[in-house]
Structure 1
Amino acid sequence: FFQKTLTAVKNWFTLFGWSKGQNPISIPYSLRRDVCKIHVTSSQEKIFKQSLGKDTKTVYDLLFHLSGQLLPGITSSQSLPLDPVERMLKLHWQHSTLLAFLKSQGAYLPHVMPEFLLEPDDYKKWIKVQTLKKDVKNSDTFSNKHLFILEDSIFERMSKRAWTDLLLQIYKVFVLPRVSSRNITDLFSLESVQNMPRIKSEPLSSNIYSPYERIILTWLNQHYEKNRKTVWKDCEKGEVPPMRWIVNFDRDLLDGLVLATQLAAYCPYLVATHFVRMYTNPKTPEQFLHNCLILVNAMHAVSLAIDIKV
């Protein structure tokens, strides 16, 4: 499950997380590697600053694109200190600032420590500084209260999980709130959906889905109920599917029928070319696969190329 989630997160942020088009990412490797756009080097007591190019994109570019905000004290063209320890401490401060900003926006990341977002070598430097803090000036700025000393393999797993959760929370606080319910109330006036169970949008009505996710569930329910009879009135592989109450984003979408009605609502010409060939009551894995292949082909037909794997 985690690997599927990671793949979905990687694909979405690769496609939609950046200005000026796609930017392939790997979690956590490219995110923790690309932390600045200017590389500082030294030679014979001279310091040189080398631009890594405009194509180098950092997590701060991603955040600015999705939120329109820059973090205090962090600029897009900044460089990091040349000294390895100072560089690590600056990165740790940046990650702390990033986490504090996201939490102030409503992100839930109590389990993500700034050091989990560092490169493995920088994480080791952080641990060394913490364990030898008595020899560090201003040692009172450091604390062993939340010091986790992890083996290399465990750190890699923790880092991957931390970056994945961070991206999910960025999506939660900056992308999901764009969902609007202003058009959903109009659909409830239709006779076909008046008897359909409602999904409450109040914040405390669910401990699983946010109000914005429940708006999406309502949208799925309404379009399915409104369009199911139209889409499959001439179905080649079954009768019109029955009414259903869609309450999740996994099991209720497995057969492809719900998502097909969403596409049909906006691209009705796909009904005759694709959706009439779907099984309306699939029972075998082959029939489920058949439906999903048709759904993906329909997405490709309208250039909705979001790299979905069947």
Structure 2
Amino acid sequence: MTGRSRQTFPHSVPRRSIGRFHAAVLITLGLLVQGCAVPVTRVAAVTATGATARQVGTFNMAGGHGTYGALGDQAPDALVTSVQERGPAFVTLQETCRDWTERLDARLPGYSVRFDPVQTGGGATARCRHASDFGNAVLYRDDLGIDAATAHPLESPAGYEQREMLCVRSTAASLAICSAHLTNGDDQPQLDARRHEASVAAGILAGQYAGYTVFLGGDLNDDPMSGMADNFYDSGYGRGARGRFKEVDSPCGNTITERTGSWPLYTYCRDGEATFDDWVTEEGSPTGQKFDFIFVTRALQVDWGDATTAPYSDHDPLWASVRF
């Protein structure tokens, strides 16, 4: 592979990359130069009554990828080390494998993992690129009091892989943590499928988890300005948003508004670091897209959000510190 080399996942360091929409503005102005990323102000920690700053994360483990899914246990073992170092409250996982989640469960005392396989368009259980079931999972600390898990079908079209949203919840704490992986592809039927899945997911969160503190982490296979993402971003973000959530890696931090800055140098708040195929080319230009998100109940305080790097996936882990 060309471009910059990735650091080992457990020891990765924070980095920023230019969001695709902000980059378009800078390119138009002829101002985009190597290494000139727009800084994102990290939000100062503000203690809320009864709230604790906790790290949370989401990661597509690429178990269905032709290369990464056949590498053995490198991805789960790297994640074990990262969890041991960070001590997150939870990590939502997509494109993971049953055997990988069993390995995580065995090697991380104090944590549990809920896994659910997805179904192919033909009705069979989907398989990873090695001999194991393929699906979504949530890894969470046992002290969160999780007492139930539900896999919610997202009404994918017939013949498509039947995408789902796996949610675990603590009834006592009114806490719900969900992992979703939506249909991929850029053809119109795939775009329509993904938007419908997102609409179904948003409806489930609004209905079945009304009154809960909600986290949704996932590989949503579309960018922050897409019609799919309209379903999750709080309406205050503008640009067609009609959801009720804050996104942890927004360049606007806790401020829910359409954009920050002034013409011609401004950033849309519906943006963030690239998390999929994120590289710097030999010519020094950034590439990649933000496909991975952590949406949170808008009232929660987000201290920071950051996408790191991973050598065993085509996606980057997304981490954040959130007070709840």
TM surpasses 0.5: no
When normalised by structure 2's length, the TM-score is 0.23
When normalised by structure 1's length, the TM-score is 0.24
Between Structure 1 and Structure 2, which shows a larger proportion of strand residues? 2
Structure with the bigger RCO (C-alpha within 8 Å, sep 6+) is 2
Between Structure 1 and Structure 2, which shows a larger proportion of helix residues? 1
